[in-house]
Amino acid sequence: MKPISGKPGSAEFYSSWLEAAKGDAPEKPTKGLFAEIIKAYKASPKWRNLAAGSKRNYGYLLKEIEARFGDTEIRAFNHRQMRAKILEWRDKHALVAPATAELCLTLLKVIVKFADGRGLLDTNILAGVEKNRPQNRADQVWTAEEIKRLLAVASPELSWAIKLALLTGQRIGDLIRIKWADIRDGVLFVIQAKTAARVEIPVGQALASLLAEIPQRAETVLTGPRGRAWADTSHLRQAWAEALVRANLRQTGKRFHDLRGTAITCMADMGCTESQIAAISGHSLEHVGKVLKFYLSRTAVQAANAVAKIDGSWMGRLETA
């Protein structure tokens, strides 16, 4: 029964009592349906141990999944034909919102794997399904002109986040966790949440200028409009999405995470080696090649740098007969 509020005899008390008397709406029967598996997943330690921010971010994805598959019989997920239906749903959803479609599929794979491991399903029909992603995101690198347009309409708080992402090449989740105490002896120390990699970034002139521009309003360098640390990435992502609309850049399909790829490309343009890029971005040296292949745009700047090096080498000083 719902709790009753208000002072006895008051209008608030009477209204609350009437509402409580109605009782809770009966839950929709889920026995034998996939909604039952979703409920089991949400009651499991796997879900409970997620960070609060992750639960909020995944919440709307679970609603999308339940709206489409909640009423589907569990036994259907034991047949490989269901795999085709899920991928068809993903592909259709991707025509409107490709990023959301991939996130939904990723979470659905987690749920199906969980159900298979608990014996709620006889098999994992989504095992081996890969993301529907392009070969590379070279065309998703932000240009200087686009960044200027974005910064022109962004709030100060979002501008600081964008600039810090470009100057450090870090993920959005790591950016909001950077504290002023992490900057010591001219070095920014970052321990990346995803890989636990320890990154030491020397504070150069550009980064020093940015840090001087940001007011110290909390323990963290980046703060929200009220001067408090960002609780999670959702509100920062929302501010980003709104800025994209104001800057008329939403149609580009570029994401905040592509600022990381942009930083990598710019470092390559400037002639940085893979090991130098890895030292800033936090990738392992064996993995940085794959990342560069995925993100690196083969630009005219890189071609010009290569020609300049050729001109200065013995090859450029060859004499013809």
Contact 66/38 with Cβ under 8 angstroms? yes
Q: Is the pLDDT of residue 21 over 90?
A: no
pLDDT of res. 25? 46
Contact 264/277 with Cβ under 8 angstroms? yes
Opening angle at CA 291, ends 145 and 169, nearest 5: 50
199, 205, 206, 211 alpha-carbon torsion, rounded to 10°: 70
Q: Is the pLDDT of residue 34 over 60?
A: yes
pTM greater than 0.75 (yes/no) = no
Looking at mean pLDDT, say which of 139-148, 188-197, 222-231 comes out highest: 222-231
pLDDT of res. 321? 45
133, 169, 55, 77 alpha-carbon torsion, rounded to 10°: 20
Question: Which pair of tokens denotes residue 178?
Answer: 């950077």
Residue 218: CB partners within 8 Å, gap ≥ 6? 227, 228, 229
DSSP string, 184-206: ETTEEEEE-TTT--EEEEE--HH
**58-93: b (≥16 Cβ within 10 Å) or e:** beebbebbbebbbebebeebeeeebbebbeebbeeb
- Band (pLDDT 50/70/90 cuts) for residue 98 is confident
* DSSP, res 74: G
pLDDT of res. 282? 84
Query: CA distances (Å), 319 to each of 112, 306, 314, in order?
Result: 67, 20, 10
**294-320: b (≥16 Cβ within 10 Å) or e:** ebbbeeeebeeeeeeeeeeeeeeeeee
- Residues 133-151, mean pLDDT to the nearest whole number: 79
Contacts made by residues 42-46, CB under 8 angstroms, sequence distance 24+: 44/114, 44/118, 46/110, 46/114
**237-255: b (≥16 Cβ within 10 Å) or e:** eebbeebbeebebeeeebb
- Band (pLDDT 50/70/90 cuts) for residue 276 is confident
Look over the chain and give the mean of its residue pLDDT values, rounded to a whole number: 83
Distance of alpha carbon 301 from alpha carbon 268, whole angstroms: 9
Neighbours of 275 (CB within 10 A): 9
- Band (pLDDT 50/70/90 cuts) for residue 131 is confident
Q: Is the pLDDT of residue 2 over 60?
A: no
Contact 263/143 with Cβ under 8 angstroms? no
pLDDT of res. 301? 62
* DSSP, res 215: -
Distance of alpha carbon 225 from alpha carbon 30, whole angstroms: 42
Question: Which pair of tokens denotes residue 297?
Answer: 């745009």
Query: CA distances (Å), 221 to each of 12, 152, 158, 203, in order?
Result: 45, 21, 12, 14
Contact 165/221 with Cβ under 8 angstroms? no
Question: Which pair of tokens denotes residue 87?
Answer: 């991928």
